[in-house]
Amino acid sequence: MSETYQPHEIEVKWQRKWEATELYRSKVDWDKPKHYALTMLPYPSGDLHIGHWFAMTPSDARARWMRMRGYNVLFPMGFDAFGLPAEQAAISRNIHPWKWTYANIERMREQLRSMGAMFDWEREAISCTPEYYKWSEWFFKRFYEKDVAYRGSALVNWSESLQTVLANEQVIDGKDERTGQPVVQKMMEQWFFAITKYADELLDFEGMDWPESIKIMQTNWIGRSEGARATFHTAESARGGAISQNAENARGGATSQNAKSAYGRAGGSPSTEIGQHPIEIYTTRPDTLWGATFMVLAPEHDLVAKITTDEQRAAVEHYIDEIAAETEIERMMEHREKTGVFTGAYAINPVNDERVPIWIADYVMITYGTGAIMAVPAHDQRDFEFARAHDLPIRVVIQPEDMTEPLTEERMTEAYDGPGIMVNSDAMDGSVSSWQKGRKNPAINRVIDWLEATGKGEESVNYRLRDWLISRQRYWGGPIPMMYAGDQIIPVPDEDLPVELPEDVDFLPTGRSPLTYHEPFFKVDETLRRETDTLDTFMCSSWYQLRYLSPDCDAAPFDAEEAAYWLPVDVYTGGAEHAVMHLLYTRFFTKVLRDIGVYDDAAAAMRRHGRDPDGAFDEPMTVLRNQGQVLGGERQGHFVLCSGRVAGERMLAERVEVVDWNQVPAGFEGYFGEIAHRTENVLHLNMAGVTQFVEVQPDAEIVIPHISGENNVNQLQHHLDIQRMSKSKGNVVNPDELVAKYGADAVRCYLMFNFDWQKGGPWNENNIKGPQGWLHDIWEIVAAGAPSAAGDPSVERDIVRKLHQTIAVINRGLEEFSFNTAIAEQMKFKNALKAALRAGSIGAEVWRDVMSQVIRLLAPFAPHLAEEIWLRLGWEYSVHTQPWPEYDADLAREEMVDLVVMVNGKPRETIAVAVDIDQERAQEMALASGAAQRSLSGKAPKRTIFIPGRNGSDPKVNIVV
């Protein structure tokens, strides 16, 4: 073996051999412990991105490690193949979505193969195949039977540009998260999944090893809040008498006068043309009910049309039209004024029979709570702003205890939402309201009890989470297996599943789904019409981990025997961007399947094999880890003004100030420009393509306005910032080119070595030299062959010791997804081995033993290289089925360690001592050391503390003087 390391020659060869020998086929084997490692499946966009490599290859390394440790590992791959891009390609380029998608899948399969990952391709699942979506449809029907799927009318997010509705989770900042196009609200009949039924169970993360941040995001998304509901009733019509006058004056906007005078105890007056409509409100602060001085309904609220008086109708309708014309973005603009109009109607506050005006305003959301609020301006900031903007009364009902003067309307500049004593609240006066929420707050607790006793209201829990809207007005998705006969909904019989997507459709630029004008599809017979909406792709990806178990199974969505062995997923890896979408949906899906009995056969099979199914189907994935994002490498440096003396080619700067681009003062005489590069204290300034050199003097003044305190030259940023990769920025990295240039193993190792995997970071191709050099050195060491001379036993012993220390670090690194430290430790060991070999201190026997372990340690990271050199050393195929090197603590233990002598906690000196040194002897030696003698100068130490060396770390003695 004399040739040099040529990755391209060995990588494809081994990929073929692994496939031919079915090395990665995962089969149920109850005699071995199972490990289901799953990484998020890609959307077949056409090209594998470096982000896919970053997510998948470390996951692969970990799966391989588990396999070598004796687990039966399942590590499948597939495609989330429904979705809009395919349809857009069809419209813009006249390619059928099938064709486009399958061509992309073909291509991406090859790219995925080039990773050298241990994917079991026999288990591949593709969500857009009829074999797959048959079961998505089947699940839909089961959900429908159990009232988890229902058809309802709701205000939905409508994307005009995509001509479809979107789930709440797909709307970011009022825009479609994919295209960035604005989204409007629209009332539509749609299919929903009742995810809110599971809200409380989804808040329970017991026993789940998921990142805290994901749990928090899901918790916030579900948004459980505790409070009360109360029912207000509209008062009689505002006609005749003093009240009528108020309403008439209110035309064209209520003035201070009439709004305030409208506030008062309700008279017992009669007849109404409005009628007594109940208006239910939800509040987290029932203790402030007595402070309600008006009500606000969302403009979309059902009652608005019924209660608006004739006098106010024009103003109200005008306002509603204005709101409807606004997009969600405009509606979410920050710091906007509190707008709204008076409806002319009044409501009676049930707690004190007060008559309060009813307004509509867009700060009340129809989608949250009941779409109506009681407004308590004294204790809610939004209500306060609204009251001040429209001259509505404010009444303090919670009096803070620690104020010198009592809180009054006149003195308030903002709402008070802190603790205090209830006042102006009739029988509830004196109750203590704390910072606590819900029943834990004594005042709230007391008011809820009273509301329930008097029948005026009740305790209530509210969620931010809304039911999952799954209808999409698109072609390229799983058909919803439902039919309509007039108003009647008729499910497609199971034996007719799947409802297949017709292929002979026309993609017309109407914006409408081709299914809606494909008569053979939607017209079942003269009376039956098929649903033309399709399933949200998130439904397909909610259960793909189950389809991998048996992708060819045609009797059930998955094979019960396979499920009994493999479920649940042990480790799931992927991006955190799915925190409140996919990751919440798949949890919900799993719980529904459990409740409707889909797992019953699998549970029975588990019992037959002696495994307890209890809890096995509550959650889809036991452990979740999110990788960070690989970012591009372009950026801007600080723009600086430098003043000082010019000496030859460079300026010796006494002052450097960071400024904005346009802030060069007139007549400035120094150097200025963007810092293009910096080496130590030398800045390379770029201004309009001209480079100037500035040497920052040691005592120079550095001014960086946004960083407080004394600044130094190291804080100056040069041109190498980080941005997301995107085609428009032209900083996208193509994995195929990298593989061609460096080989798959080097790319894998670079991705694992140069980033904190869970954090991600900037791309810097230069750094690939590190892992590349490491792999090269390993090759060279093997190529050089076993040394012929005898080794030095003490050096050999030391190498074996270091090897075992390395094993421990790799194990910990892989366990904790700290791939960079696992590789760093191997590089370190390689360096030590190389030095020992160069010194001729290793004999043939130890060399072979060490190499056997080194190659196995390398195998999860650089599978091709490891396989090649394993073969070349004459060992049995395959290195990937070899046992993982066993860590031996005795072999790893050092004989001599450094005793660290510390003075007041600062290390001052080290003394070589035996590893098992006792406290007494260590303190004695430390006190006798030069450092201790100098610091003590004859005096006795106040204290000495001995810190024994744990797990091979050095012992320490801290001397306090």
Partner RNA sequence: GAGGAAGUGGCGGAAUUGGCAGACGCGCAUGACUUAGGAUCAUGUCUCUUCGAGGUGAGGGUUCGAGUCCCUCCUUCCUCACCA
Interatomic CA distance for residues 794 and 661, integer angstroms: 63
Contact 851, 1 (CB under 8 A): no
Which of the residues 145 through 174 are near RNA (CB under 7 A)?
168-169, 172-173
Q: Site for RNA (CB under 7 A): which residue of 709, 874, 883, 938? A: 709
d(C-alpha 186, C-alpha 326), whole Å: 12
Q: Does position 368 bind RNA by CB under 7 A?
A: yes
- For 506, counting Cβ atoms within 10 Å of its Cβ (0-12 exposed, 13-18 middle, 19+ buried), the class is exposed
Among 596, 591, 602, smallest CA distance to 559 is for: 602
Q: Counting every residue, how long is the chain?
A: 961
CB of 716 to RNA, least distance (A): 8
Helix (H) or strand (E) holding 930: helix 930-936
Count of residues of this chain found to bind RNA when the rule CB under 7 A is applied: 104
β-strands 671-679, 723-724 pairing: unpaired
Cα-Cα-Cα-Cα torsion 60, 558, 881, 30, nearest 10 degrees, comes to 130
Stretch of 11-19, 159-167, 531-539, 762-770 contacting RNA, by CB under 7 A: 762-770
Interface with RNA, residue 769, by CB under 7 A: yes
CA 739 to each of CA 44, 182, 584, 731, 910: distance values in angstroms, whole numbers, following the listed order: 20, 40, 35, 17, 47
Of 269, 764, 794, 881, the one binding RNA (CB under 7 A) is 764
Which one among 144, 319, 475, 774 touches RNA, defined by CB under 7 A?
A: 774
935 binds RNA (CB under 7 A): yes
**Least distance in Å: CB of 439 to RNA?**
15
Beta bridge partners of 154: 188
Q: Which residue has the tokens 């430098």?
A: 642
Q: Which H or E run includes 933?
A: helix 930-936
Q: Does 574 bind RNA (CB under 7 A)?
A: no
Q: Tell me which residues in 68-127 interact with RNA (CB under 7 A).
A: none
Residues 612-631 that bind RNA (CB under 7 A): none
Among 147, 503, 526, 680, binds RNA (CB under 7 A): 680
Pattern 496-535, RNA, x by CB under 7 A: ----------------------------------------
Alpha carbon of residue 669 to chain centroid: 50
CA distance 496 to 712: 74
**CA 329/CA 147 separation, integer angstroms:** 34
| Smallest distance, RNA to C-beta of residue 548, A | 28
User: Hey, which residues between 337 and 356 contact RNA (CB under 7 A)?
Assistant: 338
Cis bond upstream, residue 728 (ω within 30): no
- First and final CA of the chain: distance in angstroms? 62
For RNA, which stretch binds (CB under 7 A), given 254-262, 527-535, 542-550, 714-722?
Answer: 714-722
547 is a site residue for RNA (CB under 7 A): no
Applying CB under 7 A, among 124, 362, 674, 868 the residue interacting with RNA is: 362
952 lines the binding site for RNA (CB under 7 A):
yes
H helix or E strand, kind and range, residue 72 = strand 72-74
Give the tokens for residue 934.
């100098």
Q: Where are the alpha helices (DSSP H) in 41-172?
A: 50-68, 84-93, 97-113, 130-145
Is 365 a binding residue for RNA by CB under 7 A? The answer is yes
Query: Does residue 377 belong to the site contacting RNA (CB under 7 A)?
Result: no
Q: Which is nearer to RNA, 614 or 680 (CB)?
A: 680
Q: Can you tell me the distance from the alpha carbon of 321 to that of 607, in angstroms, rounded to the nearest whole number? A: 62
CB atoms within 10 A of CB 660: 8
State in angstroms the smallest separation of the CB of 407 from RNA. 19
By CB under 7 A, which span of 492-500, 526-534, 771-779, 783-791 interacts with RNA? Answer: 771-779
Q: Which is nearer to RNA, 734 or 953 (CB)?
A: 953
828 binding RNA? (CB under 7 A):
yes
Q: Which of 847, 843, 835 is nearest to 792 (CA)?
A: 843
How near is the Cβ of 303 to RNA at its closest, in Å? 14
**Residues in 52-71 at the binding interface with RNA, rule: CB under 7 A:** none
The stretch near RNA (CB under 7 A) out of 122-130, 496-504, 656-664, 928-936 is 928-936
Give the count of alpha carbons within 13 A of 522, CB side only: 14
Near RNA by CB under 7 A, which window of 81-89, 343-351, 360-368, 790-798?
360-368
Task: Report if residue 906 touches RNA, rule: CB under 7 A.
Answer: yes
Binding segment (CB under 7 A) for RNA, from list 80-88, 178-186, 490-498, 941-949: 941-949
CB of residue 166 to RNA, shortest distance in Å:
12
Dist. CA 499–CA 491, nearest whole Å: 11
Q: How far, in whole angstroms, is CA 820 from its chain's centroid?
A: 22
218-247: contacts with RNA (CB under 7 A): 220-221, 223, 225, 227
Nearer to RNA among residue 1 and residue 172 (C-beta): 172
> Least distance from C-beta 334 to RNA, angstroms?
5
What backbone phi and psi angles, to 5 degrees, belong to 183? -120, 135
Binding-site member from 455, 610, 689, 698 for RNA (CB under 7 A)? 698
Tokens linked to 620: 């889809």
Q: Does 723 bind RNA (CB under 7 A)?
A: no
Of 43, 755, 779, 884, which one interacts with RNA (CB under 7 A)? 755
Q: How far apart are CA 419 and CA 417, in angstroms?
A: 7
> 823 Cβ partners below 8 Å, 6+ apart?
749, 752, 753, 771, 774, 813, 861
Rg of the chain taking only CA atoms, in angstroms: 36
3-state class of 345 per DSSP? strand
Question: Least distance to RNA from the beta carbon of 68, Å?
Answer: 21
Q: Is position 937 an interface residue for RNA (rule: CB under 7 A)? A: no
Q: Is 461 an interacting residue with respect to RNA (CB under 7 A)?
A: no
**Of 261 and 711, CB closest to RNA:** 711
Q: Applying CB under 7 A, which of residues 233, 611, 834, 921 lies at the interface with RNA?
A: 834
The span of 4-12, 23-31, 109-117, 816-824 binding RNA (CB under 7 A) equals: 816-824
- Answer yes or no whether residue 282 interacts with RNA by CB under 7 A: yes
Residue 212 contacts RNA per CB under 7 A: yes
Q: Which is nearer to RNA, 127 or 288 (CB)?
A: 288
CB 195 within 8 A of CB 469: no
Minimal distance in Å, beta carbon 773 to RNA? 5
Nearer to RNA, 381 or 510 (CB): 381
Question: Which residue number, 261 or 820, has a Cβ lying nearer to RNA?
Answer: 820
Quick one: which segment of 416-424, 522-530, 725-733, 930-938 binds RNA (CB under 7 A)?
930-938
- Alpha-helical runs (H) found in 727-818: 735-742, 744-753, 769-784, 793-815
Cβ-proximal residues to 350 (8 Å cutoff; 6+ apart), any chain = 230, 231, 232, 233, 456, 457
Site for RNA in 781-810 (CB under 7 A): none
Which CB sits closer to RNA, 443 or 616? 443
- In terms of phi and psi (left: phi > 0; alpha: psi -120 to 50; beta: otherwise), the region of 94 is left
Nearer to RNA, 677 or 921 (CB): 677
Which listed residue (21, 691, 714, 794) binds RNA by CB under 7 A?
A: 714
Region near RNA per CB under 7 A, out of 394-402, 427-435, 741-749, 897-905: 897-905
Does 203 contact RNA by CB under 7 A?
no
Q: Does 285 bind RNA (CB under 7 A)?
A: yes
Instruction: Pick the binder of RNA from 10, 378, 483, 579 (CB under 7 A).
Output: 579
Residue 545: count of CB within 10 angstroms of its CB: 26
Whole-number Å distance between alpha carbons of 375 and 303: 17
